[in-house]
Structure 1
Amino acid sequence: MDSGSPYQWLRELRRDSQSSNPISLLIECAKCVASGNIKNADIGLEYISQISSPDGNAVQRMVTYFSKALGYKIVKQLPGVYKSLNTSKTSLSSDDILVQKYFYELCPFLKFSYLITNQAIVETMECEQVVHIVDLHCSEPAQWINLIQTLKKRPGGPPHLKITGIHDKKEVLDQMSFHLTAEAGNLDFPLQFNPIVSKLEDVDFNNLPVKTGDAVAITSALQLHSLLATDDEMVGKISPAGPSSINLQRAVQMGQRTFAEWLERDMINAYILSPDSALSPLFLGASPKMGIFLNAMRKLQPKLLVITEQESNLNGCNLMERIDRALYFYSSLFDCLDSTVTRTSVERQKLESMLLGEQIKNIITCEGVDRKERHEKVEKWIRRLEMAGFVKVPLSYNGRIEATNLLQRYSHKYKFKEDNDCLLVCWSDRPLFSVSAWSFRR
């Protein structure tokens, strides 16, 4: 827009916040959306569309997806229009699988997580004869192929390895089964693969094929945060008046009796009723699903639990707070892709559009149970897991040496640092992902 633009608000904004910085304009548009000033937000978003591009530099690309998300936030006030736009944009399962593969290949974060996880399994299960891994998002054969190859060389021979793979897409598990059984056959390795088609929140731990005598390891890569989505029906029945105000029948149905068992141990008092608890807004009060899930998982008495999560605090209710923190987190992701992947890469474009862009849309547009991208920092995961009965396990020194070499193959800007016995993968000095290891407190 030229200086003769009739949009006084935009002219003043460009003069005050320096129009060369699209992030400043984006934040002002977000404030308009948050305050209900849709007219000014529309004017700002129109201008942003002229200065941003999914093919531009890192800032331009990121702002493109944030501005789209704000647009959806506005349109969502018209439910019919919003639904009609979304029903025509359902993605193919094959596309989802492909873009997850791009994330694995173009960024080192999952490779780092898998390397650290496998080393922790090897060391923790050193003397075990039957090792049973429960993978809560079983999607990348390379992780377990590497473990099979490592365990094959174990002094005294490999253990009998069982892998229970959980995923909501059958075709993903079929591919996992094909690749893993082929590798096990080539190496004459004792492997049993159990596919479980299920969404994470619907996993029935009581019916998993875990047998007495199995040494259990559970792995979760970028999955648990989705369980932080508020269960409005349940939370609405929780009040500071105490446990009597909870609909126990509903709770028991959701948790297969586990929630009732929590009540018997006064966990409600520990998590919800204490105003001094850092978990009071995070744990059962805001996310009963997470509490139920951790308690059910603990019943498997895992010898090892390895969790990888985004290192960001995006679980707040305030829109501006979420946008500010999301800009901080995703600017680093777009920057690292800009520095390590060519601008013309079709794979990078699809990764940013179909994965990062959709995450940003979910963070900004959605509320309540619809908002699944509820990232939290490692200190909150530590408190949550400790109160759920898990204890931290120090991560392997040998794994760290290998992880350093892995990151350096991508860029010297990738680093990791230790925080409270957990590892944080960083871009420059900005932590982006955490890896932590736990065991069941016996």
Structure 2
Amino acid sequence: MGEGILKKRKLIIEEISEEGRVTQEDSIASGNVTCEEEIEMPEKEMSFEHHDEPRVLQSDEVCLLDDTNSDIESPSSDIEIGKSVVIMTKTSNAASKEEKPCAFQSASFKLFIDYGNRLKKIHGKPITVPKYEPERVKMVDQKLSTNAIIRLAGKKFIQFLETSSEDLSMNCLLFSEAFSSLKKEDARDVEIVFYLLASADQVDQKQFDHARMLLEHCEELSSCVGDPVQRLVYYFSKALNEKIDQETMRKTPSNLGIKQLQDVEEGMMTVNSTALALNKVFPACYIIQLAGIQAIVELASEAKKIHIIDFAIKAGQHHSMLIQALADESECHLEHLKVTAVGTASKSKIEETGNRLISFAQSLSLPFSFNVVMVDDILDLDEGLLSVNSDEIVVVYSTYFLRSLLGQPDRLESLMRVIRSIKPSLMIVAEVESNRNSPVFVNRFIEALFFFGAHFDSLEDCMKNDESNKSIMESFYFSTGINNIVATEGQQRAFREVKIEVWRAFFDRFGMLETPLSISSLAQAKAVIKNYSCGRSCSLDMDGKCLIIGWKETPLYSLSAWTFK
């Protein structure tokens, strides 16, 4: 193995032994919405201080902030697995290639350490609801969660890197038959995730033949109908093979990523049976909808006319809930509710949504109108198209829309300027709480592995008696997201997310102030969880004034409210 690669891998282990919080400085920059490259940390001293004003770096992508923590709790201090597996590492011939910054792998692999108790470490106080406790999974009769398996496999992979020899390009890692404190299937799952991590490492090092050999093991041990870990590895293995095909020019990169995003968005534009089935058993979507519209209902108590400008309206279930809530509000004196849906595609689907809402509002005798504003490009949107009247209270409603513009910073900038120009009284923002916008492949891969690991785990618990809809969610929605994050680069990588602290820094540039969600909104969220059978595995926490919805150890979604200075 080349000396540079060996040094870089040893540095991983040295950094992982450090205590305290680590911040990876990827962020939406101040000034113009430029994007950052991965920051090269000096070897002699690594500084992870938080800066009030983000630095401006030059790059072609909007990146992320990532806070990691260097503590991990393992069920066994002596981790051994019982099988022989060959792991290929970079040969000395490859050492002459340009080396990546030393912070690259160290920052990436430290992400494993972060997920132990991330929700418990969010600033602010948790909402008092039954919460998942990691200690529960250590019971003999209970299987480890998917993300607990990932953390153990990550720790084992880090240990493997530490023991790599300088004169070896191929290392044999010996496993004992099982973890002393783990069930047999848990040990097997740790092993398969280990294979997956090793293959991702080889893909990153462009050792594609070695990666394919490892992926063959993954494919032998995984299945789209197995347990959550097997299903997770199955889809990630497919994505890694897709990436290898593109990197080796077996497949020519196309507009696949954009088309995949369009397919997913199109699928969410109608009220389909799979989405309804998921909402009945998994509370996250309903929590976001209910807590968000509660803030609008409270605003309506003091307004005669409300104009909601909705980006990515989809099937519009949240507006049905709002119409019902306003109709039931005895003290509501609302004279008119207007919804303007802004879109760049699927006009007929948006109009269908509008017709359903108009019919529903009429049945409840609520004064309501629905407008559609279609633009070929979000750059074409301007204040005049939104038809905002001076006597209206304006609310901007954005659910999982802003993330679609992270790879197009000029459009994100343009949209925010338009929003600011209409001076909304309130802006509701729901986003995915994950760092999947880094230009660094390993960072994205690990973040996606944890995020989708939590989702596969949740479907196993919540949809165990609905194999048909569970399969559709995983094979279409999840698989599409995984493939786009793992297999594509640049503008083709349409699925991008950043965490709430990144959005805070970005919104601050436009004079936006985060405002607390009301006590009623939080009470609604708490009440929702109690009505779901899998509610004990869901977590509600406050990150400052923002509500974070999580599954077991992993944050999944954020809901925040904003006003303008």
TM-score of Structure 1 vs Structure 2, range by shorter chain: 0.7 to 0.9
| Counterpart in the other structure of 1:191 | 368
The answer to whether structure 1 residue 166 and structure 2 residue 342 are counterparts is: yes
Secondary structure, aligned partner of 2:174 = helix
The answer to whether structure 1 residue 26 and structure 2 residue 196 are counterparts is: yes
Secondary structure, aligned partner of 1:81 = coil
Residue of structure 2 aligned with 1:422, choices 530, 546, 550? 546
| Counterpart in the other structure of 1:209 | 387
Secondary structure, aligned partner of 1:347 = helix
| Counterpart in the other structure of 2:174 | 15
Relative to structure 1, the CA distance from residue 95 to residue 327 in structure 2 (aligned partners, 3 Å threshold; closer, same or farther) is same
Q: CA offset at residue 197 of structure 1?
A: 3.7
Q: CA offset at residue 415 of structure 1?
A: 2.1
Q: Is the 1:106–1:348 Cα contact (8 Å) retained in structure 2?
A: no
| Counterpart in the other structure of 1:67 | 237
Relative to structure 1, the CA distance from residue 214 to residue 158 in structure 2 (aligned partners, 3 Å threshold; closer, same or farther) is closer
Relative to structure 1, the CA distance from residue 169 to residue 388 in structure 2 (aligned partners, 3 Å threshold; closer, same or farther) is same
Residue of structure 2 aligned with 1:148, choices 303, 315, 323? 323
| Counterpart in the other structure of 2:504 | 382
The answer to whether structure 1 residue 47 and structure 2 residue 217 are counterparts is: yes
Task: Give the gaps of 5 or more residues in structure 1.
Answer: 232-286
| Counterpart in the other structure of 1:332 | 454
Aligned equivalents of 1:96, 1:111: Cα separation in 2: 15
Q: Is the 2:444–2:485 Cα contact (8 Å) retained in structure 1?
A: yes
| Counterpart in the other structure of 1:433 | 557
Relative to structure 1, the CA distance from residue 199 to residue 40 in structure 2 (aligned partners, 3 Å threshold; closer, same or farther) is farther
Q: Is the 2:87–2:173 Cα contact (8 Å) retained in structure 1?
A: no
Residue of structure 1 aligned with 2:413, choices 291, 297, 304? 291
Q: Is the 1:404–1:415 Cα contact (8 Å) retained in structure 2?
A: no
Relative to structure 1, the CA distance from residue 396 to residue 13 in structure 2 (aligned partners, 3 Å threshold; closer, same or farther) is farther
Relative to structure 1, the CA distance from residue 102 to residue 43 in structure 2 (aligned partners, 3 Å threshold; closer, same or farther) is farther
| Counterpart in the other structure of 1:240 | none
Counterpart of 2:316 in structure 1: which amino acid?
P
Aligned length: 382
Deviations 1:262-287 (A, max 9, x none): xxxxxxxxxxxxxxxxxxxxxxxxx3
Deviations 1:56-111 (A, max 9, x none): 11111111111111111111125573468959999598655446556545532221
The answer to whether structure 1 residue 391 and structure 2 residue 513 are counterparts is: yes
Q: Is the 1:313–1:325 Cα contact (8 Å) retained in structure 2?
A: yes
Secondary structure, aligned partner of 1:76 = helix
Q: Is the 2:264–2:477 Cα contact (8 Å) retained in structure 1?
A: no
Q: Is the 1:392–1:438 Cα contact (8 Å) retained in structure 2?
A: yes
Aligned equivalents of 1:189, 1:69: Cα separation in 2: 48
Aligned equivalents of 2:192, 2:250: Cα separation in 1: 31
Aligned equivalents of 1:347, 1:191: Cα separation in 2: 34
Task: Give the gaps of 5 or more residues in structure 2.
Answer: 1-82, 90-169, 177-186
Aligned equivalents of 1:199, 1:427: Cα separation in 2: 37
Q: Is the 2:308–2:340 Cα contact (8 Å) retained in structure 1?
A: yes
Q: CA offset at residue 349 of structure 1?
A: 0.9
Q: Is the 2:337–2:367 Cα contact (8 Å) retained in structure 1?
A: yes
Secondary structure, aligned partner of 1:54 = coil
Relative to structure 1, the CA distance from residue 210 to residue 13 in structure 2 (aligned partners, 3 Å threshold; closer, same or farther) is farther
Relative to structure 1, the CA distance from residue 141 to residue 4 in structure 2 (aligned partners, 3 Å threshold; closer, same or farther) is closer
Relative to structure 1, the CA distance from residue 309 to residue 73 in structure 2 (aligned partners, 3 Å threshold; closer, same or farther) is same
Q: Is the 1:55–1:343 Cα contact (8 Å) retained in structure 2?
A: no
Counterpart of 2:210 in structure 1: which amino acid?
N
| Counterpart in the other structure of 2:443 | 321
Counterpart of 1:22 in structure 2: which amino acid?
I
Q: Is the 1:169–1:197 Cα contact (8 Å) retained in structure 2?
A: no
Q: CA offset at residue 126 of structure 1?
A: 2.2
Q: Is the 1:222–1:308 Cα contact (8 Å) retained in structure 2?
A: yes
Residue of structure 2 aligned with 1:356, choices 478, 499, 517? 478
Aligned equivalents of 2:350, 2:195: Cα separation in 1: 44
Aligned equivalents of 2:363, 2:555: Cα separation in 1: 39
* Aligned residues: CA RMSD: 2.9
Relative to structure 1, the CA distance from residue 13 to residue 292 in structure 2 (aligned partners, 3 Å threshold; closer, same or farther) is farther
Relative to structure 1, the CA distance from residue 102 to residue 86 in structure 2 (aligned partners, 3 Å threshold; closer, same or farther) is farther
Secondary structure, aligned partner of 1:313 = coil
Q: CA offset at residue 149 of structure 1?
A: 1.8
| Counterpart in the other structure of 1:179 | 356
Deviations 1:15-38 (A, max 9, x none): 369865211111110111111111
Q: CA offset at residue 361 of structure 1?
A: 1.1
Aligned equivalents of 1:217, 1:154: Cα separation in 2: 22
Aligned equivalents of 1:308, 1:342: Cα separation in 2: 27
The answer to whether structure 1 residue 226 and structure 2 residue 404 are counterparts is: yes
Aligned equivalents of 1:427, 1:8: Cα separation in 2: 32
Counterpart of 2:246 in structure 1: which amino acid?
K
Aligned equivalents of 1:113, 1:19: Cα separation in 2: 36
With normalisation by structure 1, the TM-score equals 0.79
Aligned equivalents of 1:85, 1:292: Cα separation in 2: 24
| Counterpart in the other structure of 1:126 | 301
| Counterpart in the other structure of 2:292 | 117
What percentage of residue pairs aligned between the two structures are identical? 26
| Counterpart in the other structure of 2:37 | none
| Counterpart in the other structure of 2:129 | none
Counterpart of 2:346 in structure 1: which amino acid?
K
Q: CA offset at residue 158 of structure 1?
A: 2.6
Aligned equivalents of 2:84, 2:525: Cα separation in 1: 56
With normalisation by structure 2, the TM-score equals 0.62
Counterpart of 2:244 in structure 1: which amino acid?
I
- Give the structure with the higher percent helix: 1
Aligned equivalents of 1:154, 1:37: Cα separation in 2: 67
Q: Is the 2:268–2:315 Cα contact (8 Å) retained in structure 1?
A: no
Q: CA offset at residue 428 of structure 1?
A: 2.4
Q: Is the 1:136–1:220 Cα contact (8 Å) retained in structure 2?
A: yes
Q: CA offset at residue 142 of structure 1?
A: 2.5
Deviations 1:153-201 (A, max 9, x none): 2415333000012342123213312221111111121101012345784
Relative to structure 1, the CA distance from residue 84 to residue 368 in structure 2 (aligned partners, 3 Å threshold; closer, same or farther) is closer
Aligned equivalents of 1:191, 1:423: Cα separation in 2: 30
Counterpart of 2:542 in structure 1: which amino acid?
E
Relative to structure 1, the CA distance from residue 389 to residue 92 in structure 2 (aligned partners, 3 Å threshold; closer, same or farther) is closer
Q: CA offset at residue 382 of structure 1?
A: 1.3
Counterpart of 1:334 in structure 2: which amino acid?
F
Counterpart of 1:171 in structure 2: which amino acid?
S
Q: Is the 1:22–1:48 Cα contact (8 Å) retained in structure 2?
A: yes
Q: Is the 2:514–2:560 Cα contact (8 Å) retained in structure 1?
A: yes
